[in-house]
Amino acid sequence: SLTRPPDIQATRLKLPVVAEEQKIMEAVHNNNLVVIYGATGSGKTTQVPQFLFEAGYGSPDSPTPGMIGVTQPRRVAAVSMAKRVGDELGDQSNKVAYQIRFEGTVGPQTAIKFMTDGVLLREVAQDIALRKYSAIVIDEAHERSVNTDILVGMLSRVVKLREEMAAEDSSIKPLKLIIMSATLRVTDFTENATLFATPPPVIQAEGRQYPVTTHFARKTHHDYVEEAFRKISKGHRKLPPGGFLVFMTGQNEITHLSKRLKEAFRGGNTSAGPQVRISGKDAPMEAEDIDFGEIGTDTHDFDDDDDDGDEVDFHDDDDFDIGEEEEIGPAKMHVLPLYSLLPTREQLRVFEPPPDGSRLVVLATNVAETSLTIPGIRYVFDCGRSKERKYDDVTGVQSFEIGWISKASASQRAGRAGRTGPGHCYRLYSSAVYERDFQEFAEPEILRMPIEGVVLQLKAMNLQHVINFPFPTPPDRQMLASSEKLLAYLNAITPSGQITSTGSTMSIFPLSPRFARILLVGHLHDCLPYTIALVAGLSAADVFIPENQIVPTIAPREEDGYFTNADRIEEEARNKIRRNFNKIQKEFCFLDDKSDAIKLLQVVGEYAHDPTEAWCHTHYVRYKVLKEILQLRRQITDLLRTNITAFAGLKFQDKLEPPSAKQVKALKQMVAAGFIDHIAIRADLAPVPPEVRRKPTRSIDVPYLTLFPSNISREDDDKAVYIHPSSPLAHLSPQECPEYIVYSYLQRAAPAAATPEKLPKTRMHALTDIT
Ligand code: ADP
Ligand code: MG
């Protein structure tokens, strides 16, 4: 049996889910499928796997020896929850392990395995019966990521299959599937007859553990980063001890805010308040402030489905009067960022206690919205927005748009303040905006993403008519049709929709179909090692750190205020960075000055010769991403060797010589092979060139037209697409602009707030010119 540390035992007993243990385990015993709903903090993630474990799941000598698999939509969550459950299991902590894409601790002793949902999806593709497992817990199902949705669909079939197998062979046990959600929006799962013929039982655990008081702002400020800075500064001076968790939308904002806070609170808390220099660019746009006037108070009909016992305070929160007679918090601030591209080691710093006499201030994107418990967080500051990828399935144009989160997300964020004690959530928006502009729930990701990868995987699993797959929310038919069209271009399926042998080979690789296609033509001209490096690079997150995200390292300043001097020093540091940045970008292009793809290949190649953080730092590229690219290169090489007879002798070479001119040319053609539907022609060469009022003076203003109609409909009638300023092509003169460009995707920024009527240009993320 199990000996848990006494403090953990005491905390456990207070968790609402623990009170339901018997009910949950009875339901699991009587049903192969169970849905558990419990608000954030009720103990789902940490406790349910332990209930299963204590009931014998995952123990080699029990009737249910297979592992307990627990999925998380995010890697940080998989790693940190494995750690927490390990701690809770005390002397049996070695029974818990995690597996994320390139990293894991799973061994023969593992009984509970935390993993990302992507990892489990790959495992289903290898063994449709998931024989290694006796139970699967799908956590955070309410987030509705594409992977989670596909997993739920597949597992509904796996459960059936295991039932059938168990009926025939008593040595095989049925698989238990537990779907957990922090919101009650589970009807897409429970009332979906194609998914589950009989609706599964839903077990509800009580709300969160500690009360969280929610404070709305009186006004919704347009510049929420500025507003966050103001509120955090004031809150830090006035609020009793307790960590801050601040929700922002992206890395840029976090870097900016972190710098401001560090500057303002460098020497600790000053009673005069922070001295902050606001440049014109950062100044709040007062005229733009969205002010929706009065907010309802008495008549206000607030219903939040999980605010049991919680209060909502409609008064202005500026005084931070939280009705407690307590000492004011510590003077110093310990500011830490938390976003997905941050190296794992730095992400995990938020779980460590802050230095004595300082307040922990975590600036996070919505990676911190679910799963994670950051010890000591007592106050949440929520900007109410998030950055989401939007994808237009008709035009193929992608954009990253900052928009309001859903009410469900807002309540998740607030819940982060009540995990280890009572807390407060300061919303940087008014209740009027919340009521009027926030949807109940976010739209499932499958409706917002290109899905050719999903379609190929399903076809590779012998599902010719993908529309018949039991999707919790079926994708749009138009989206399915365009995915099939693309797969047909790539020769992955026949015109009638059947998978080809090329298509099944493509599906083996953890790559999007376009990159898998490039890989399979990549052995010509002895290019294979380069092609592998290139597709690995192209499928990873962005390697390059934009210049505006580089934080100058400035020698520590004296505390007694050489502020004007400091400004000058900072400006010099900036200029130095700019010169250096441009020089380095140029050097990366020495093989070819017109191709983003070859530039990326060069970075991947140079990194392999000096795979250190120091090298990445001096070259303004992301270490975490490059490390993953190197691992992916190794993985692709292994997959080629083991799956394709012609490559049986293939060895992995991490260090490569620069490719020859001939190879560079071949590589550029291969890239084009994966993107034949993404080619643009310089507009003046088109059969019907559009009228140009003024001759462009910069290459980024030279119009191009897409060869395949991209249906870009715009109010201002500009059907052209343009070079993105981050591309090496942006450094050419207009005369040097290539006739044809292959692009990976089109992107359009949201209109600037100051001039909403002026639409920004649609820009190509170029891959290469073709000659
Ligand atoms: P849920 O999945 O329902 O949101 P969890 O199981 O993640 O809830 O967490 C339940 C509670 O366990 C938290 O509210 C917190 O009190 C405690 N807890 C979880 N992880 C940690 C941790 N790393 N450190 C301290 N307490 C934790
Ligand atoms: Mg959880």
3-state secondary structure of 764: strand
- Rg of the chain taking only CA atoms, in angstroms: 27
pLDDT digits (tens, 9 = 90+) for 390-444: 766 556 666 777 889 999 899 889 988 988 888 999 999 999 999 999 998 888 9
Give the residue, by CA position, lying nearest to ligand 1 atom 27.
Answer: 373
State whether residue 378 is helix, strand or coil.
strand
Q: Which ligand lies nearest to the CA atom of residue 39 in the structure? A: 1
> What backbone torsions phi and psi does residue 310 show, to the nearest 5 degrees?
-85, 155
- Name every protein residue with a CB atom under 6 angstroms from any ligand 1 atom: 15, 38, 40-47, 84, 209, 373, 375, 419-420
Nearest-ligand number for the alpha carbon of 44: 1
pLDDT for position 752: 64
Ligand nearest to the CA of 80: 1
Q: For residues 120 and 116, give the distance between their C-alpha atoms in angstroms, rounded to a whole number.
A: 7
91, 150 Cβ separation under 8 angstroms: no
Ligand with minimal distance to 17 CA = 1
* Nearest-10 crossing angle of helices 661-674, 513-520: 140
How much of the chain exceeds pLDDT 70, in percent? 86
Residue 368 C-alpha to ligand 2 middle, in angstroms? 11
- Minimum CA distance residue for ligand 1 atom 15: 419
CA-to-CA separations, 298 to 292, 302, 315, in angstroms, rounded:
17, 10, 12
Nearest to 151 by CA among 167, 130, 174, 172: 130
Which ligand approaches the C-alpha of residue 16 most closely? Answer: 1
For ligand 1, atom 18, the nearest C-alpha belongs to 373
- Mean of pLDDT values over 4-26: 91
Q: What is the pLDDT of residues 462-511, one digit of tens each?
A: 888 999 999 999 998 888 998 999 999 999 999 999 999 999 999 999 89
Distance CA 709, CA 31 (A): 51
SS (H, E, C) 698-759: CHHHCCEEECCCCCCCCCCCCCCEEECCCCHHHHCCHHHCCCEEEEEEEEECCCCCCCCCCC
Handedness of CA 229, 235, 238, 242 (dihedral sign): negative
In the reported structure, the alpha carbon of residue 182 is separated from the centroid of ligand 2 by a whole-number distance in angstroms of 7
Cβ neighbours for 353, distance < 8 A, ≥ 6 positions apart: 360, 375, 376
Q: Tens digits of per-residue pLDDT, 530-549?
A: 999 999 999 988 899 988 77
**Can you list the positions of beta strands (E) in 570-622?**
none
Q: What tokens were used for 585?
A: 């970008």
**pLDDT value at position 153?**
95
Stated as kind and residue range, the H or E segment containing 561 is none
Nearest to 769 by CA among 733, 734, 727, 735: 727
Instruction: Name the percent of the chain lying above pLDDT 90.
Output: 59
Encode pLDDT of 313-335 as tens digits.
544 555 576 655 566 777 799 99
If you measure from the C-alpha of residue 370 to the centroid of ligand 2, how many angstroms do you get, rounded to a whole number? 6
Give the pLDDT confidence score for residue 581 in this predicted structure.
94
Which residues contact residue 440 at a Cβ distance below 8 angstroms, ignoring those fewer than 6 apart? 185, 406, 407, 408
Please state, in angstroms and rounded to a whole number, the distance separating the CA atoms of residues 332 and 17.
37
pTM: 0.80
In whole angstroms, what is the distance from residue 502 CA to residue 504 CA? Answer: 6
Buried-state track 90-106, b at ≥16 Cβ within 10 A, e below 16: eebeebbbbbbbeebbe
Report how far apart, in Å, the C-alpha atoms of 498 and of each of 457, 494, 503, 532, 677 are: 12, 5, 9, 27, 21
Q: Which of 76, 373, 411, 413 to mutate to test the pocket of ligand 1 (most atoms within 8 A of CB)?
A: 373
pLDDT of residue 29: 96
Q: Whole-angstrom Cα distance, residue 311 to residue 288?
A: 31
Our CA dihedral for 690, 694, 699, 701, rounded to 10 degrees, sits at -70
Q: What is the number of the ligand 1 atom nearest to the C-alpha of 205?
A: 3
Round to whole Å and give the CA distance between 331 and 583. 42
Q: Nearest CA to 592 among 658, 532, 499?
A: 658
For residue 165, the one-letter residue type is M
Listed residue (459, 470, 467, 461) closest to 498, CA to CA: 459
CA angle 448, 479, 440 (to 5 degrees): 35
pLDDT in tens, 261-310: 998 887 654 443 333 333 333 322 222 222 222 222 222 222 333 333 44
What pLDDT score does 323 carry?
Answer: 57
Report the C-alpha gap between 64 and 384 in whole angstroms.
44
Which pLDDT score, from 0 to 100, does residue 714 have?
Answer: 63
Report residue 143 as tokens: 């987030």
Ligand 1 atom nearest residue 17's Cα: 3
Q: Are strands 112-116 and 96-100 parallel, antiparallel or unpaired?
A: parallel
Q: Please give the residue that has the higher pLDDT: either 742 or 188.
A: 742
Q: How far is the CA of 40 from the centre of ligand 2 (A)?
A: 6
Question: What's the rounded Cα separation, in Å, for the pair 371 and 45?
Answer: 7
State the distance from the centre of ligand 1 to the C-alpha of 374, rounded, in angstroms.
9
Helix 596-609 and helix 623-643, axial crossing angle in degrees, nearest 10: 90
Average pLDDT across the chain, whole number? 85
Cβ–Cβ under 8 Å, residues 728 and 593: yes
409 CA distance to ligand 2 centroid (A)?
A: 14
CB distance 549 to 251 below 8 Å:
yes
| pLDDT 10s digits, 29-81 | 999 999 999 888 889 999 999 999 999 999 989 999 999 999 999 888 999 99
Amino acid in the structure at residue 200: P
> By the 8 A CB rule, do 44 and 209 touch?
no
**pLDDT score, position 753:** 60
Number of CB atoms found within 10 A of residue 699's CB: 20
Q: How far is the CA of 4 from the centre of ligand 1 (A)?
A: 16
Nearest Cα residue to atom 19 of ligand 1: 373
Beta bridge partners of 403: 386
Cα distance between residue 530 and residue 595, in whole Å:
15
State pLDDT tens for residues 154-194.
999 999 999 999 999 999 999 999 999 988 788 889 888 98
pLDDT in tens, 662-694: 999 999 999 998 998 899 999 999 888 877 778
Q: How many Å lie between the centroid of ligand 1 and the Cα of residue 46?
A: 6
Write out pLDDT tens, residues 205-248: 876 568 899 999 998 888 899 999 999 999 999 999 999 999 99
Determine the distance separating the centroid of ligand 2 and the alpha carbon of 44, expressed in angstroms: 6
Q: Which residues contact 9 (CB under 8 A, 6 or more apart)?
A: none
- Per-residue pLDDT at 656 exceeds 50: yes
Closest approach atom of ligand 1 to CA 371: 7
Q: What is the distance in A from the centroid of ligand 2 to the CA of 585?
A: 42
- Which two structure tokens, joined as six digits, stand for 140? 């955070």
Secondary structure letter of residue 474 according to DSSP: P
Of 70, 55, 66, which Cα lies nearest the Cα of 25? Answer: 55
Q: Terminus-to-terminus CA distance in the chain, angstroms?
A: 70
pLDDT bracket for residue 715 (50, 70, 90): low
Cα–chain-centroid distance for residue 124? 23
Q: Amino acid identity, residue 453?
A: G
- What's the pLDDT score for residue 346? 87
Nearest Cα residue to atom 6 of ligand 1 = 43
What's the rounded Cα separation, in Å, for the pair 69 and 116? 10
CA distance 40 to 372: 10
Please report the pLDDT score of residue 712 as a whole number.
63
**DSSP bridge pairs for 387:** 402
Which of ligand 1's atoms lies nearest the C-alpha of 418? 14
Query: In this structure, are residues 446 and 146 in contact, taking their beta carbons and an 8 Å threshold?
Result: yes
Question: For residue 378, which phi and psi values (nearest 5 degrees)?
Answer: -125, -20
Please give the single-letter amino acid code of residue 215: H
Residue type (1 letter), 767: L
Nearest in space to 625 (alpha carbons), one of 609, 610, 637, 611: 611
pLDDT tens digits for range 481-491:
989 999 999 99
Q: Which atom of ligand 1 is nearest to the CA of 372?
A: 7
Q: Which two tokens stand for residue 506?
A: 């493509």
Q: What is the pLDDT of residue 312?
A: 55
95-152 pLDDT, tens digit each:
999 999 888 999 999 999 999 999 999 899 889 999 999 999 999 999 899 999 999 9
| Token output for 276 | 């902050």
